Structure 1
Amino acid sequence: MTVRTLHFTSEFATLLPELSVSPRVDDAAPEFELQAIELNHELAAELGLPPGWLDSDEALQALAGVRTPAGAQPVAQVYAGHQWGVFKPVLGDGRAQLLGEIDTPQGRYDVHLKGTGPTQLSRVDGWAAVGPMLREFLVSEAMHALGVPTTRSLAVIATGQHLERDGVQLPGAVLARVARSHLRFGSFQYVPGTGDLGLLRRLGDHAIQRLYPDAARAAHPYRALFASIASSHARLTADWMRLGFVHGVLSTDNVTISGETIDYGPCAFIDRYDPTVWYSSIDEHARYAYERQPEIMAWNLARLGDALAPLLGETPAEAQQVIDDTVQAYIDEYAERRLEAFTAKLGLRDTSPAQPLIERALRLLAAHSIDFTSFWAALADAAKGNEAPVREAFTAQGVAGSALLDTWLAEWRALQPSPEIIRSVNPRFIPRNHLLDAALTAANQGDFDAHRELLEVVRHPYAAPGAHPAKFAEPGPDLEFVTFCGT
């Protein structure tokens, strides 16, 4: 069968050349022994890729960064960013390249490769190992299945390289991912350092045209752009919080203006609930802990506003007022979306009686270290009169009985919660940290079975209790869990 080629465009590289550099230090293509480890045929179908293309040799070489496909002009994107609150004026794709864009039934998407080697922006060796790339593939697929806006992974391709990480030899790989855009808050933060107001306008216009076309019809398009970005992150952050997801490195260079989750390095899902928890090995002061994510996103938005300021007002004071108002609008919308999300987790429609129940439930979970995901899922049975699964979660933590739990359950059931709503929004199956860790350890040894089994599970997070083996719904050992950024 003849496979049609996939046509790329190079919109970003052509329109904004000041925001990119060559994707390699030299023009020599690396000597790879390529092998496709994971191919996302479901995503390929959704994007309308030519049938069979993803399995072709053309795709293998293009998605590994070895051969440039027709129409593509690969570039490493340049951006700045606040990392742990400290501004870095020049960051960028140090081990990645934007291959180009493709047109799909859902609109134009970026195709971005991660782990293709050193660029002019590299801070490490520029290559990626199999484990972190498979982590991003699996967790991004889980997030998509959970209804969270996210970049998605199209392929993980082993390169045949052997990389040294902390004295250990690991197999190399490239991740191919797609997104509505790879523009970051840091993309805008880079521009003021150039002193080029025209570039800032062109970048803003590109963002409006690509992501928020309604803003072009507003009285103040750039203010409307900023407001739209803030609104998208109110939704995104509420999604993270409802699922117990901890991003890990929520720096401004790791936040997209599209409102899609990006960069799944030291991320994790909460097992036993602790709102102060963080998992990243390099987050020494818990800046990006679970409970701090909403306020960090507000802070990040304020820094984006600083970069956009010349477009937001005629004077610095006017621009600052727009920034303050927009950040406050984010705070208000986030609070509303969080309340709506947790009200649904309780199986209720009316937020008024739900709010005190939500906060009391979270205090109970924290006080007794109850598994976050299991508790909310068990409410479906409790809503039908079977409270045993909820109570067993407390018993397992050594809480034989709790008057506070008794009172909470009685008040909650009196509101007649819907089991159907509970089942529709509370997953039973998430990427359990210990299972993912074990799967990646095996993958480093060439055994991908555990990863593929877990991938199939997390693609169906709302499945009935018996749909997958019980181990996939159980929390891990009560041990301190640490994740690493992959570099």
Structure 2
Amino acid sequence: MNKNDNLSNPIQHQVYHALPDDVYSDVPPVRVEQPSLLALNHDLLSQYGLASSWFESAEGINFLAGNHDYAEQHPIAMGYAGHQFGHYSPQLGDGRAHMLGQFKDANGQLIDVQLKGSGRTPYSRGGDGRATRGAVIREYLISEAMAGLGIPTTRTLAMISTGDQVMRDYQMVPGAIQVRTATSHIRVGSFQYAYAKLGESGVKALADFLIEHHFSDIAESDNKYLALFEAICVRQANLIAQWMLVGFIHGVMNTDNMSLVGETIDFGPCAFMDEFKTNKVFSSIDRESRYAWDQQANIGYWNLQRLAETFLPLLDSDSDKAVEKVQAPLTTYINTFQHAFEQGLKRKLGVTVSTPDAEDLVNHALPMVAAEGMDFTQFFDALTRVAQGSPNSDVLALFSNQEKGEQWLNSWQEIREHSTETVSAMRTANPTLVARNHQVEQAIQDATERDDFALFHRLNEALKTPYTVSEENQDLQAAPAPNERVLRTFCGT
């Protein structure tokens, strides 16, 4: 579709029908009585090369709300298994989501369009298949924040009110549907499910599908399945390093929540840290700190080991040789993450040399921030401003021990690179704004309780440019007051 074709439905493909029937279920969304458009992501539509007219029309809104016959699209719910907090569940799947199909963006790439909160499916396991307005707002804002930071992510194309109420925590709250776009919705759990259902043939079908649609550059490799696994490892290592470098905690890194194309997917009990603690956890159900900030790289490795178990039959008929072959990509994951994180931290600090003093400063920077109880985003933003010429007091104000702060700053000033290029790189590594938990929660409360979307729209706009802040949005940089702190986040299902 082009922008002149304003009233045509662009969702004309359903590529997942090429997969074995056992890994998905044909099922349409469940109709709602009074759908209405709460928000439309015009900037994202523009990036895709799509006009907004159809999405704003009655036909488009009804299509995205589940009120359509879908004779051409054939929506599906995708099956997948997963290790949830380390415990294997053989059948999870899209319990409240429907894959409507795909459209082609301006570059000819197929983009998934999935509804979340669109009704029950064969995978609902007793759930109502619906989503709350608050859960949709949360994913909308945080996924847009990730996009603004340049971190690969699924996106929210639209937010639809169902006109209905749903029961959560013993109270009725407004229901909503998220219209989510992604490069792919295939997960580690998709391979686990295919392996359990179909064995080698199911895994091969999924792997061939991924190579055809998302990793075509490795199609001619001597061992394309080993090359695919390594490519997945590299993408995942880089993604997790990017999360951690901005203080992001995914919160629920189960294998069913790990995209194989390296995009952040499923924003449930996630959060950006305020005060920095290496073992910080937000998820209300992560009682063992399995998915703490400092455990995310380890969990990424663990998840990839689970994926490797399904790949083994494709790598060699001799199981011992297959296990041996898969070690190299797993080692690549470790090396890729370590390099990406270490280089990213140096970029945040403006350090370009590898002298013993420089390495010591870099290695002790985060422990120092933690010991001082400093706000993660504010510290690196202030440090960048000092590098740009602001007074040292911008950083010293964050230290409880001023003498210690002056000593650290003097060492940093001696070691850091003062060139314009390095200072510019610091700014692109250190956002001034992140999606603060207390602000996101306030936006949810305003929209849920009073139909007031003012803060939602303000945050959504400001988070598009997180490395600069306008004068009217400077208050969004503030860390939460003690009575505003959000200590626990929830899945929202």
TM-score for the superposition, normalised by structure 2: 0.93
Aligned length in residues: 478
Which residue of structure 2 lines up, in the alignment, with residue 115 of structure 1?
Answer: 117
Which residue of structure 2 lines up, in the alignment, with residue 273 of structure 1?
Answer: 276
- Aligned pair in 2 of structure 1 residues 469, 385: CA closer, same or farther (>3 Å)? closer
Secondary structure in 2 aligned to 1:112? strand
- Aligned pair in 2 of structure 1 residues 393, 20: CA closer, same or farther (>3 Å)? same
Q: Say which of 395, 398, 401 aligns to 1:393.
A: 398
What whole-Å deviation, never above 9, does each CA across 1:96-137 have from its counterpart, x for those lacking one? 011111111241111111000111100321100000001111
Which residue of structure 1 lines up, in the alignment, with residue 462 of structure 2?
Answer: 457
Which residue of structure 1 lines up, in the alignment, with residue 492 of structure 2?
Answer: 486
The answer on 1:134 being equivalent to 2:137 is yes
- In 2, the alpha carbon distance for the partners of 1:407 and 1:439 equals 40
- In 1, the alpha carbon distance for the partners of 2:69 and 2:294 equals 43
Report how far residue 284 of structure 1 moved.
1.4
- Aligned pair in 2 of structure 1 residues 68, 147: CA closer, same or farther (>3 Å)? farther
What whole-Å deviation, never above 9, does each CA across 1:81-102 have from its counterpart, x for those lacking one? 1100111111100000111111
Report how far residue 188 of structure 1 moved.
0.4
Q: Say which of 426, 429, 445 aligns to 1:425.
A: 429
Answer yes or no: is the 8 Å Cα contact 1:377–1:427 preserved in 2: yes
What whole-Å deviation, never above 9, does each CA across 1:192-211 have from its counterpart, x for those lacking one? 21244222211110011111
Structure 2: which amino acid aligns with 1:422? M
Structure 2: which amino acid aligns with 1:157? I
What whole-Å deviation, never above 9, does each CA across 1:376-417 have from its counterpart, x for those lacking one? 0111222226211111112xxxx14243x3332222211334
Q: Say which of 21, 28, 37 aligns to 1:17.
A: 21
Structure 1: which amino acid aligns with 2:121? T
- Aligned pair in 2 of structure 1 residues 480, 108: CA closer, same or farther (>3 Å)? closer
Structure 2: which amino acid aligns with 1:211? H
The answer on 1:159 being equivalent to 2:165 is no
- Aligned pair in 2 of structure 1 residues 67, 368: CA closer, same or farther (>3 Å)? same
The answer on 1:365 being equivalent to 2:369 is yes
Which residue of structure 2 lines up, in the alignment, with residue 103 of structure 1?
Answer: 104
Report how far residue 158 of structure 1 moved.
0.4
Which residue of structure 1 lines up, in the alignment, with residue 218 of structure 2?
Answer: 215
Structure 1: which amino acid aligns with 2:452? D
- In 2, the alpha carbon distance for the partners of 1:269 and 1:219 equals 42
- In 2, the alpha carbon distance for the partners of 1:387 and 1:227 equals 44
Answer yes or no: is the 8 Å Cα contact 1:78–1:90 preserved in 2: yes
Report how far residue 2 of structure 1 moved.
6.1
The answer on 1:342 being equivalent to 2:345 is yes
- In 1, the alpha carbon distance for the partners of 2:179 and 2:354 equals 41
Answer yes or no: is the 8 Å Cα contact 1:275–1:291 preserved in 2: yes
The answer on 1:88 being equivalent to 2:89 is yes
The answer on 1:467 being equivalent to 2:471 is yes
The answer on 1:245 being equivalent to 2:245 is no
- Aligned pair in 2 of structure 1 residues 424, 31: CA closer, same or farther (>3 Å)? closer
Which residue of structure 1 lines up, in the alignment, with residue 406 of structure 2?
Answer: 406
What whole-Å deviation, never above 9, does each CA across 1:133-158 have from its counterpart, x for those lacking one? 01111110110010100001100100
Report how far residue 453 of structure 1 moved.
1.0
Answer yes or no: is the 8 Å Cα contact 1:238–1:337 preserved in 2: yes
Structure 1: which amino acid aligns with 2:386? A
Structure 1: which amino acid aligns with 2:340? R
Answer yes or no: is the 8 Å Cα contact 2:32–2:66 preserved in 1: no
Answer yes or no: is the 8 Å Cα contact 1:141–1:458 preserved in 2: yes
- In 1, the alpha carbon distance for the partners of 2:42 and 2:198 equals 44
Report how far residue 351 of structure 1 moved.
5.3
Identical amino acids, percent of aligned pairs: 36
- In 2, the alpha carbon distance for the partners of 1:42 and 1:248 equals 28
Which residue of structure 2 lines up, in the alignment, with residue 416 of structure 1?
Answer: 417
- Aligned pair in 2 of structure 1 residues 350, 153: CA closer, same or farther (>3 Å)? farther
- Residues 145-154 or 209-218, more deviating: 209-218
- In 2, the alpha carbon distance for the partners of 1:45 and 1:183 equals 25
The answer on 1:75 being equivalent to 2:76 is yes
Query: Which ranges in structure 1 are unaligned for 5 or more consecutive residues?
Result: none
- Residues 413-422 or 275-284, more deviating: 413-422
Answer yes or no: is the 8 Å Cα contact 1:22–1:119 preserved in 2: no
- In 2, the alpha carbon distance for the partners of 1:249 and 1:51 equals 33
Structure 2: which amino acid aligns with 1:154? L
Secondary structure in 2 aligned to 1:469? helix
Structure 1: which amino acid aligns with 2:348? K
Structure 2: which amino acid aligns with 1:112? Q
- Aligned pair in 2 of structure 1 residues 63, 410: CA closer, same or farther (>3 Å)? same
Which residue of structure 1 lines up, in the alignment, with residue 49 of structure 2?
Answer: 48
Query: Which ranges in structure 2 are unaligned for 5 or more consecutive residues?
Result: none
Structure 1: which amino acid aligns with 2:468? A
Answer yes or no: is the 8 Å Cα contact 1:230–1:326 preserved in 2: yes
- Residues 339-348 or 43-52, more deviating: 43-52
Report how far residue 10 of structure 1 moved.
1.1
What whole-Å deviation, never above 9, does each CA across 1:325-363 have from its counterpart, x for those lacking one? 211110111000001111111123345565432221101
Secondary structure in 2 aligned to 1:393? coil
Which residue of structure 2 lines up, in the alignment, with residue 144 of structure 1?
Answer: 147
Secondary structure in 2 aligned to 1:174? strand
Report how far residue 69 of structure 1 moved.
5.0
- In 2, the alpha carbon distance for the partners of 1:350 and 1:159 equals 56
- In 2, the alpha carbon distance for the partners of 1:314 and 1:215 equals 21
- In 1, the alpha carbon distance for the partners of 2:187 and 2:290 equals 20
- In 2, the alpha carbon distance for the partners of 1:2 and 1:240 equals 37
- In 2, the alpha carbon distance for the partners of 1:138 and 1:130 equals 12
- In 2, the alpha carbon distance for the partners of 1:220 and 1:348 equals 39
RMSD: 1.7
Answer yes or no: is the 8 Å Cα contact 2:396–2:406 preserved in 1: no
Q: Say which of 339, 345, 360 aligns to 1:356.
A: 360
Report how far residue 51 of structure 1 moved.
4.8
Structure 1: which amino acid aligns with 2:480? G
What whole-Å deviation, never above 9, does each CA across 1:47-81 have from its counterpart, x for those lacking one? 12245222122221122222155741100000011
